[in-house]
Each structure stands twice: as structure tokens, then as C-alpha cells.
Amino acid sequence: MEISELSKQATAYKKAGDFKSAIQLMKRVEVLMDSDKENEYRAESYCRLPLCIYESGQLDEALEQFKKVLRRFPYNWGCLKRNSVGNLDTPLAYQRAYIYDKIRLVLQREKKFIEAAPYSVLSSSYVDRSQLEFFTLLDPIWRGKRKPKENWRDWMDYKEIKDFLKESPEARSEYVIESAEKLLKKANKLDVLESLKNYTIQLIQDTNKPDETILLELRLLLRGFTQSSN
């Protein structure tokens, strides 16, 4: 049975409330995707399994599965290209941003707002980081050139990214913490917002910092705040 057919069957099981059968099929799909050397599967496809595991009531197991998905998208995965609707897409940045946002989602649904905030920041910082990746790749091609008659979309993308990067780190950090701010508000912990913003300003200027370090630092920042406020 093909991947698409198995996926549809797994979705049907999930909608019917048969999570055990759905999870079993999704694991089979995962094996088939890993063995498929002709197609490139994105994070969205791999995240279906941990999301289903979560919906079955297994939060801890779902979080472990998300970690496995992250390992499928290492830092050298993919290359610059356009997605199905024609927009520029850096596979690595957006794959990891997508995964971290889904972790944020399940924690938020559990009302673990403080635990979800670091993943929100990390997801948004990957989107910001992607702009730097775009600029690095496009700048040598379009620097100093006028809008061409052909291939103008690349030129327009370059101009928009260049304008975006002219924004100060302070302005860019506002976007990165936008979702996290909502989480902190739900947790009634807005007093930590200024410290989080200062951290984010430094973060978007250090694109080489490992994800694990970022998560640890954010957890310590939020934990230190919550302990001192009690």
C-alpha cells in the first residue's frame, strides 16, 4: 500500500477515535518515508505521528517523538528553493520552525504556558534566521542591480529581505517574541517580558548558537523569574 493511502487510512482511524490503529499506521508510513530515496518529505509529514500520539493522551511520548523528528532535519538539510505557491523557502529553517511551533502548540493546549514559551521563541527565531539565509544567497546575485524584465520575482524578494534586515534588532525581536508574549500573558507572567526581549535581541544576532543552548537559557531565564516572583 502506498504512503498516501496509508496516511488517509491512518487519518480515518484517528477521526474514528481508534488512536492505536492510527499510530501503528503512521509508524509504517514513517518507515516508508525514510526508505523512499526519490522524494523529500517535510516536517509536516513527520509531525503527524507525534501529534496523533499527543491526541491519544500521551504528552511525554509525543514530546519524545518530536525530538526524533528534529533529528531528521539537521543543520545541513535542504537548500534554497521555492515552495508550491512560489514563495522562497529555506527548508531547514522552516522545517525546524514548524516542528518547534507544534511543540509549542501541544504544551499550550496543556496550559503549560511557561514551558511553551521557549519553543515559541525558537520557532520564530528560525523564521527570522531564514531571512539572513535568503540574503546571504541572493545578495551576490542582485546587489546593485535594477529590476529585470525576466526573473523579477527573485529581485523583488531580495529587495524585501534587504529592507527587512535594515530593521534594528530591537524591531525584529518584537516579531520573535510576539507569540511568546501571548503565552506569558496567559500565565500572568508579563513581568519577565523585558528580560525576554533583551535576550531575543542578542539571540537574533547570534545565528550559530545551538538550539539546545537556547532552550536551556530560556528555561533558566523563565524559571529564575518564576522562582523569584513566588
DSSP letter for each residue of 75-121: TT----EE-TTS-EE-HHHHHHHHHHHHHHHHHHHTT-HHHHHHHHH
Q: Are residues 106 and 217 in the same domain?
A: yes
User: Which of 72, 106, 126 finishes a domain?
Assistant: 72
CA dist., res. 111 & res. 35, Å (int): 37
CA dist., res. 144 & res. 163, Å (int): 14
CA dist., res. 18 & res. 151, Å (int): 49
The pairing of strands 88-89 and 81-82 is antiparallel
Q: Are residues 43 and 87 in the same domain?
A: no
- Per-residue confidence (pLDDT) for residue 20, from 0 to 100: 96
Q: Are residues 36 and 123 in the same domain?
A: no
Q: Are residues 206 and 116 in the same domain?
A: yes
Q: Are residues 120 and 57 in the same domain?
A: no
**What range defines the domain where residue 103 resides?**
78-223
In a domain, 163, yes or no: yes
Digits of tens for pLDDT over the chain (230 positions)?
A: 589 999 999 999 999 999 999 999 999 999 999 998 888 788 999 999 999 999 999 999 999 999 999 998 875 444 555 555 555 555 677 888 999 999 999 999 999 999 999 999 999 998 887 777 677 777 777 777 777 766 677 777 777 777 777 778 888 899 899 999 999 999 999 999 999 999 999 998 887 888 999 999 999 998 765 444 44
Provide CB contacts within 8 A for 141, sequence distance 6+. 154, 158
CATH number at residue 49: 1.25.40.10
User: Which of 17, 44, 72 finishes a domain?
Assistant: 72
Q: What are phi and psi of 218, to 5 degrees?
A: -65, -40
In a domain, 219, yes or no: yes
Q: Are residues 112 and 159 in the same domain?
A: yes
Q: Are residues 63 and 83 in the same domain?
A: no
User: Which of 72, 91, 126 finishes a domain?
Assistant: 72
Q: Are residues 84 and 127 in the same domain?
A: yes
Q: Are residues 154 and 189 in the same domain?
A: yes
Q: Are residues 61 and 116 in the same domain?
A: no
By the 10 Å C-beta count (0-12 exposed, 13-18 middle, 19+ buried), 118 is classed as buried
Q: Are residues 30 and 117 in the same domain?
A: no
In a domain, 11, yes or no: yes
Model pTM score: 0.83
What is the number of domains present in the chain? 2
Q: Are residues 117 and 199 in the same domain?
A: yes
